[in-house]
């Protein structure tokens, strides 16, 4: 089996060609750096993604706080994680790095704040 990908590790966007034999990568070509090869292998054997979003903040100087998963999540679990975020509300104040939800949707990743949000009036 063969797959063609565009590397997303840097702005170069290398066109990668991956050859698999019995679900094992036998060849990666087109990459200009080692990160491209690692990305190609990961993408065809175990694709993962960081999930970013915003959550509403109660009592905050601004209405939402940006957040992301603490580690990449299996691509097939993204929908579960996003659904688990649906009813989450955060109480101000929020600091960068605060864990907003531990082990969200059983994914093994925490949801962490990526912005500071002060209390309203501060």
- The answer to whether 27 and 18 have CB atoms below 8 angstroms apart is yes
Q: Rounded to an integer, what distance in angstroms lies between the CA atom of residue 86 and that of residue 69?
A: 15
Predicted confidence at residue 23, as pLDDT, reads 86
The chain-wide mean pLDDT, for the chain, equals: 95
- The answer to whether 17 and 9 have CB atoms below 8 angstroms apart is no
Task: Name the CATH topology of 52-113.
Answer: CPE0013-like fold (3.10.530)
Predicted confidence at residue 19, as pLDDT, reads 96
Task: Tell me what the mean pLDDT of segment 98-121 comes to.
Answer: 96
Task: Tell me what the mean pLDDT of segment 89-95 comes to.
Answer: 97
Predicted confidence at residue 28, as pLDDT, reads 96
Domain boundaries, the chain: 2-46, 52-113
Q: Rounded to an integer, what distance in angstroms lies between the CA atom of residue 96 and that of residue 80?
A: 24
Is the per-residue pLDDT at 122 higher than 80?
A: no
pLDDT band at 72 (very low <50, low <70, confident <90, very high): very high
């Amino acid at each position: 089996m063969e797959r063609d990908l565009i590397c997303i590790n840097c702005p170069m966007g290398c066109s990668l060609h991956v050859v698999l034999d019995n679900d094992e990568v036998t060849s990666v070509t087109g990459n200009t750096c080692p990160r491209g090869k690692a990305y190609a292998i990961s993408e065809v054997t175990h694709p993962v993604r960081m999930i970013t979003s915003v959550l509403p903040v109660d009592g905050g100087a601004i209405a939402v706080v940006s957040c992301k998963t603490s580690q990449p999540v299996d691509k097939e679990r993204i929908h579960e994680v996003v659904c688990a975020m649906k009813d989450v509300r955060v109480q101000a104040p929020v600091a960068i790095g605060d864990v907003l939800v531990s082990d969200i949707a059983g994914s093994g990743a925490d949801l962490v704040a990526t912005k500071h949000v002060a209390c309203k009036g501060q």
